[in-house]
Amino acid sequence: MNIAKDIFTYLGRSGDSIRRGAGSSNVTVVRGARLAVIDPGVWVGNAFGAVVGQMGEEGLHLEAVSHVLLTHGHWDHMNAAGYLQRRCGACLAVSAEDRAAVEDREQFFREFDQSDHKAFQSELVPLPRSLIKLILWYSFGKQPVMTVEWVVRDGDRIDVGRILEVIGVPGHTPGHVGYLVEDCGALVTGDLFDFENSIGMDVTNFRSDVSVAMKSIERVISLGPEVAIPGHGEPIVGRKNVTARLKHALANVHHYLGLTEQLLSTKAMSLTAVTEALFPSIPLSLRSMTMLMVLNMLRFLEQHGRIERTQVAKTWSWTKK
Phi, psi at residue 237, to the nearest 5°? -115, 135
Phi, psi of 291 (to 5 degrees): -65, -35
**Beta bridge pairs of residue 177:** 168
- β-bridge pairing 65-69 and 91-95: parallel
Helix (H/G/I), strand (E/B), else coil: 28: strand
Q: Are strands 2-4 and 7-10 parallel, antiparallel or unpaired?
A: antiparallel
Q: Contact, 151 vs 94, CB < 8 A?
A: yes
Q: Where are the alpha helices (DSSP H) in 19-59?
A: 47-57
Residue 115 pLDDT > 70, yes or no?
no
Query: Is the four-CA dihedral 212, 295, 110, 68 of positive or negative sign?
Result: negative
User: Does residue 149 sit in the same domain as residue 264?
Assistant: no
| Helix H or strand E segment including 85 | helix 81-88
Report how far residue 246's alpha carbon sits from residue 50's, in angstroms, rounded to the nearest whole number.
30
82 and 61 part of one domain: yes
Give 303 or 206, the one with higher predicted confidence: 303
Q: Are residues 218 and 206 in the same domain?
A: yes
The single-letter code of the amino acid at 197 is N
Is the domain of 236 the same as that of 273? no
pLDDT digits (tens, 9 = 90+) for 22-59: 778 999 999 999 999 999 999 888 888 899 999 999 99
- Are 6 and 183 in contact by the 8 Å Cβ rule? The answer is no
**Do 144 and 280 belong together in one domain?**
no
Dihedral sign for Cα 227, 179, 199, 306, please: negative
On the CB side of 64, how many CA atoms lie within 13 Å of its CA?
Answer: 16
Query: How long a stretch of residues is the chain?
Result: 321
Q: Which structural domain range is residue 278 located in?
A: 256-320
pLDDT at 26: 95
Cα separation, 246 vs 286, in Å, equals: 22
Out of 240, 255, 270, pick the residue that ends a domain. Answer: 255
Those residues whose C-beta lies under 8 Å from the C-beta of residue 215, and which sit 6 or more positions away, are 171
List, for residues 132-183, the tens digit of each pLDDT value.
Answer: 778 777 877 788 889 999 999 999 999 999 999 999 999 999 999 999 999 9
Q: Name residues whose C-beta falls within 8 Å of residue 137's C-beta, 6 or more positions apart in sequence.
A: none
Query: Do 160 and 222 sit in the same domain of this protein?
Result: yes
Q: What are phi and psi of 171, to 5 degrees?
A: 140, -55
Question: Domain of 274: which CATH number?
Answer: 1.10.10.10
Give Cα separations from 276 to 141, 233, 306 (angstroms): 30, 24, 21
Same domain, 249 and 260: no
Residue 15: give its domain's CATH number: 3.60.15.10
Q: Residue 231's CB: how many other CB atoms inside 10 A?
A: 31
- Tell me the pLDDT tens digit for each residue of 212-248: 999 999 999 999 999 999 999 999 999 999 999 999 9
Whether residue 263 sits in one domain with residue 249 = no
Per DSSP, 68 falls in state E
CA atoms within 13 A on the CB side of 15: 30
Provide the whole-model pTM: 0.94
Residues 160, 211 within the same domain: yes
Q: Are both 228 and 266 inside the same structural domain? A: no
Domain count within the chain: 2
Residues 157, 216: one domain? Answer: yes
Residue 122: pLDDT band with limits 50, 70, 90: confident
My answer on whether 294 and 220 are in the same domain is no
What are the beta bridge partners of residue 65? Answer: 35
- Mark which of 234, 255, 276 sits at the end of a domain: 255
End-of-domain residue from the set 205, 220, 255: 255
Beta-strand pair 236-237/193-194: unpaired
Angle, alpha carbons 71-73-79 (nearest 5°): 100
